[in-house]
Structures are given as C-alpha cells and as structure tokens.
Amino acid sequence: MASLIRRGDYWHLGWMQDGRWRQVSTKFRAEGKAPPIEAQELKLRKEKEMACLIAGLEYVKPITIKEALAEWSQIDKQTCSFGTWSNHQSYVPRRLEPFNDKLVSQFNEADVQQLVASLNAEPTSYATKRVMFASCSSFWKFCMGKGYAKKPLFVLSMMKKISGDRNPRFEKRALTPDEEERIFSHLSGWVLTCSMIALWTGARVSEAIRVRPSDVDFMVGEIRFREKKLGGRPIVKQIHPTLMAFLRNLSIDDYPPEGMRETCLSDRFQRAAIRAGVSNATFHWLRHTLASRLFEEGISERDAAAILGHTQAVHKTYAHASRERLKNKLSLVKNVGFLSGK
C-alpha cells in the first residue's frame, strides 16, 4: 500500500490515494541499501492510516506524550510569551513526565487518576493544584484538536478529586530575620542572586529574573531592570551596600540564564521556603520584607515608594526624591546578621 523510494540523497514515502500517486520526503538520508528503521516506521504508519481510510474508520496518529508536548510548546511560543501560557509550559511537562513514552491515544482515565494522586501528595495549596490540573487540561484539548486523542479525560469529575489546603497560600507579609536565614540557606546559584536582588531592591520576580551583569553599575551604585514601566523607561534602583558587596563577587554563571521563566524562579524559591519550614512564603514576600524594614527605620512612605518602585501614577507623586537622597535612605536599612557573616 505504501513504498519507500530512494530519490537523490533521501528516502521518500509514496502511496496511492484517491486514484493519485502521492510522494513526500521522509527527511532520512539514503546512506545504505535498506531504509532506516525510522523510515520503515513511517511506512507502517501510513499503511495503517490507509487501511483505516479504506475501512471507513477514524485514524488516530500514534504520537507519544513527549512528542506532543514538544509540538504544543512550539505553538505556545507563537501565540503568547507571558502569563498563563508560560505557567502551562512550566507545569505540564513536570506533571506528565512519568508518561513521556506513552502514546497519547493510550493515555486513559487511570493515568489521570494517578496524576491527581501525585498532586494530592504534594504540600502545595488546593488552588495551585487546580491550576496545574487546568494546565494539563489545556494540553489535552490541544491533543484532541490535532486528532491525537478522541476522549476528554481532564474533566470536572476528575478535578473534584483534588484535595489540599484551601486556605489562601499566597499570604503577603514580611519575613522575619530567622525565616530569611533558613530560606537563604537553601538557595544557591542564580536563584540566590535573584533573591538577594529582590530582598535589597524590592524587585518583582519579573524584574529580578532578567538582571544581567551589564545591568549593574558599580560606579554609580545603581541597578537597571529590563522590564520597562513608567512610560517605557527602564526601572533604575539604588544598590544597598550589602547587595553591592554580594554582586561584586559574582561570576556571569551566577546570574539567571537568558530566557529563564519567571515561574521557574518562583517555584525554586517556594521549594526552598518549604524545606525551610516557611511553606506559605513566595518570592514576592522579599519585596514586602524590604518595605517592612524601610518602615521600621522611619523612612517616609514617599521615599519608600520611590525605593521600591511603583506604577507610573504613583511614581509621579514621588518624582521629587533625588537619586542621592534615596541612596542615603536605603543605606539606613540595617544588615541582617547571617548576610554580613556575623
């Protein structure tokens, strides 16, 4: 029903359909007398597809979970770079990793139940587990749309089996010095760098993840953040002496890799927080920690807002604060013992 034909330097796949001979390249080089196994598998797939067509049956393309994830992620990048889609790309491969070699068409309800059980075994909040389940559901809808799967599996009845702490996970408060010490003891590499930057500048996760060595000006004592706000101008913040000393000793490998996702930084920080016994802590707590210290030192709300950085409307209110004045105000914040080596 189908044939492998050598044409030039490549093997081609040919078959008869609707009374016409069709032929496409397999993209496998013709380096020997016999076609490679991969080309023969393509031939078998085409023969199965033609047999289903003749019998009037619906053909389901045999593709593994891993292959479908790779295809889905490429489409993902074309449609959206940030927000929910980036969360999907972070959650789904991790959740479906045990099923990577399984065909999408063979993925079943028992596998979904196993996935839900693995979610329930994790110390994450109920809301986070639901987001992970919804991310997997989004991937599955893609598979159904491509014809790789025929039956909806990530349905409401399965989602209702998710259990976990329903109290708000993302409480917002400042870390105590003891909590800081415990969490930072579990951080290293670029995650530690981003966390230090957030702790001493109030940077958001979207700002800290994009900092590169060229963004730090040691001569002036400033750090430039690539996420543009304030009418399209980059955010520039003053560097606390403690952060200055820390950054001077870093190599380029200690900064976040290009293209690293925000969710990866958030997840790694939260894992460190869980190991440190501060299970509810999020990366954003570092921003609240600096704000709390500024308040404790008696620094005015105007100066604190300018140090932390705000939206354009808030920034205009505090625009009169000079660079030198903010640097002096920021330096009033006392160092924490474990960060100074005491």
Order of strands, sheet of 2-7, starting from the edge strand that comes earlier in the sequence:
2-7, 10-17, 20-29
Q: What is the pLDDT of residue 329?
A: 58
Asked if residue 323 and residue 192 are part of one domain, the reply reads: yes
Which residues span the domain enclosing 82? Answer: 65-159
The whole-number average pLDDT for the span 6-20 is: 85
Domain holding 185: CATH number? 1.10.443.10
Asked if residue 251 and residue 195 are part of one domain, the reply reads: yes
Among 96, 129, 159, which residue terminates a domain?
Answer: 159
pLDDT band with cut points at 50, 70 and 90 for residue 147: confident
Task: Give the tens place of pLDDT for each residue, 60-115.
Answer: 677 899 999 888 877 755 444 444 445 556 678 888 999 999 999 889 999 999 99
Asked if residue 186 and residue 110 are part of one domain, the reply reads: no
The whole-number average pLDDT for the span 208-231 is: 81
More confident of the two residues 182 and 291: 182
Task: Give the tens place of pLDDT for each residue, 253-300.
Answer: 999 988 888 888 999 999 999 999 888 888 988 988 888 888 777 777
The answer to whether residue 294 is domain-embedded is: yes
Q: How many distinct structural domains can be found in the chain? A: 3
Highest mean pLDDT among 29-38, 52-61, 270-279, 295-304: 270-279
Q: Is the pLDDT of residue 227 over 70?
A: no
Q: What is the pLDDT of residue 13?
A: 85
Ranges 23-32, 41-50, 53-62, 96-105: which has the least confidence: 53-62
Q: What is the pLDDT of residue 300?
A: 73
The answer to whether residue 60 is domain-embedded is: no
Asked if residue 142 and residue 250 are part of one domain, the reply reads: no
Q: Is the pLDDT of residue 306 over 90?
A: no
Q: What is the pLDDT of residue 295?
A: 77
The answer to whether residue 249 is domain-embedded is: yes
Asked if residue 40 and residue 85 are part of one domain, the reply reads: no
More confident of the two residues 291 and 183: 183
Highest mean pLDDT among 57-61, 204-208, 327-331: 204-208
Which amino acid is located at 197 in the chain? I
Which amino acid is located at 265 in the chain? L
Give, in degrees to the nearest 5, the angle at Cα 176 between 127 and 126: 10
Instruction: Single out the residue of 213, 198, 211 nearest to residue 248, CA to CA.
Output: 213
Q: Is the pLDDT of residue 328 over 80?
A: no
Q: Which residue blocks in 147-284 are alpha helix, DSSP H?
A: 156-159, 177-184, 189-201, 205-208, 241-248, 262-275
Q: Is the pLDDT of residue 246 over 90?
A: yes
Asked if residue 196 and residue 80 are part of one domain, the reply reads: no
What letters, b where the CB count within 10 A reaches 16 and e where it falls short, cover 251-272? Answer: eeebbbeeeebbbbbbbbbbeb
Asked if residue 202 and residue 315 are part of one domain, the reply reads: yes
The average confidence (pLDDT) of the chain is: 80
Asked if residue 142 and residue 287 are part of one domain, the reply reads: no
Asked if residue 242 and residue 93 are part of one domain, the reply reads: no
Asked if residue 333 and residue 184 are part of one domain, the reply reads: yes
The answer to whether residue 143 is domain-embedded is: yes
| Residue given tokens 């390249």 in the structure block | 25
Domain holding 126: CATH number? 1.10.150
Q: What is the pLDDT of residue 318?
A: 33
The answer to whether residue 253 is domain-embedded is: yes
Asked if residue 314 and residue 223 are part of one domain, the reply reads: yes
Q: Rounded CA gap, 267 and 244, in Å?
A: 26
More confident of the two residues 310 and 279: 279
Element (H, E) at 168: none
Asked if residue 150 and residue 79 are part of one domain, the reply reads: yes
